[in-house]
Amino acid sequence: MTSAQLLQGGIVVEHVSRSFGQVRAVRDASFAALPGTVTALIGPNGSGKTTLMLMLASLLRPDGGSIRIAGFDPMDATPEVRSRLGWMPDVLGSWANLSVRSTLEFTARMYRMDRSAAARRAAELVTLVDLTELADSPTRVLSRGQKQRLSLARCLVHDPEVLLLDEPASGLDPGARAQLRILVRRLASEGKTLLVSSHVLAELDEMADGAVYIEAGVTASAEALARSRASARPWRIRAADVEALRAALETAGIGRDEITVDRAELVIPLAGEAAASTLLASLVGSGVAISTFAPAVGDLEHTFLDLSTGDPA
């Protein structure tokens, strides 16, 4: 994808900073999120994620650097950005006495839809986020998870091409979380750009195409990410005969002190997919019946933990 195409539909952040008095919330953030993809925004509490999201949403002015949302500067071309952007904050209040349906119709009217178009869009979204049974109930009766689904529907009202989702799965039950993952992937397949912030890295692993890591207000460089991907991480291995598996691991060059036991599985460190593939072939070739062979943590969690113990730059 060319830089021109990226500017037309994606997110481009270059050396963005923002301070609050003496507190440098974001020091140097740079990344690009492509149309048709889901990008995870990952970092510990206090890393600058929320401040960065607010700047992308045109709610805070950066002190330095540049931001482009679908080719527009959120500060210099705010109406253009907001017409193309869907923003779902971690907590979005609702009008307690309005019904779910009326809330969505009212939101659509704020995006200049006429009454009939607003009613049609509200009906579509009520179904999309599985709130049909509560469509005519006041929003004050909704649970935390149901309010999250309503918040997601509100950010989709005007069919935006760029979506900023901050903790979208918070409060959702397992079934709703699975539906959210499917919806997020569907939106990406339609060509939308999605930036999703969450502390639940296992869920992000299942929906994200790539990730931006931020620590102390600085986004990790491509070099730091490459080093992290190449570093060793634990893998879980299970076999019917644990002692045969242990012997095969030692024969394959895994030291006895590198092997730990966790429930019915053996855990060992491996540096990268190539090392894992070689070891698996060796174990299968030795006749050990392997039933589980997988990373102990997901890619995003491994990178996050690795970067948190080193220099994100």
pLDDT in tens, 23-81: 999 999 999 999 999 999 999 888 999 999 999 999 999 999 999 999 999 999 999 99
Domain end point (choices 151, 184, 219):
219
- Residues 44, 137, single domain; the answer is yes
CATH number for the domain that contains residue 106? 3.40.50.300
The per-residue pLDDT for 145 is 87
Q: Which domain holds residue 193?
A: 3-219
- pTM, two decimal places: 0.85
- Residues 26, 131, single domain; the answer is yes
Domain end point (choices 194, 219, 244):
219
Position 166 pLDDT exceeds 50: yes
Position 3 pLDDT exceeds 70: no
Listed in order, strand segments (DSSP E) in 106-205 are 162-166, 193-197
- Residues 82, 118, single domain; the answer is yes
CATH number for the domain that contains residue 239? 3.30.70.250
- Residues 155, 275, single domain; the answer is no
Q: What average pLDDT does this structure show over 195-211?
A: 89
Question: In this structure, what token pair is assigned to residue 224?
Answer: 């730091």
Domain end point (choices 186, 219, 252):
219
Beta carbons of 195 and 9 less than 8 angstroms apart: no
Question: 299-308 and 222-230 helices cross at what angle (nearest 10)?
Answer: 110
pLDDT in tens, 213-264: 999 999 998 888 877 777 788 999 999 899 999 999 999 999 999 999 998 8
- Residues 120, 259, single domain; the answer is no
Position 192 pLDDT exceeds 70: yes
Q: What is the 8-class DSSP label of residue 248?
A: H
Among 47-51, 186-190, 291-295, 299-303, name the one with the lowest average pLDDT. 299-303
Question: In this structure, what token pair is assigned to residue 50?
Answer: 């929320």
- Residues 177, 289, single domain; the answer is no
Give the chain's mean pLDDT.
Answer: 90
- Per the structure, the count of domains in the chain is 2
Q: Confirm whether 313 is domain-assigned.
A: no
- Residues 275, 191, single domain; the answer is no
CA distances from 277 to 79, 236, 256 (A): 51, 13, 20
Q: How far apart are CA 138 and CA 101, in angstroms?
A: 9
- Residues 47, 165, single domain; the answer is yes
- Residues 171, 235, single domain; the answer is no
Q: Confirm whether 136 is domain-assigned.
A: yes
Position 267 pLDDT exceeds 90: yes
- Residues 79, 114, single domain; the answer is yes
- Residues 187, 238, single domain; the answer is no
Beta carbons of 36 and 192 less than 8 angstroms apart: yes
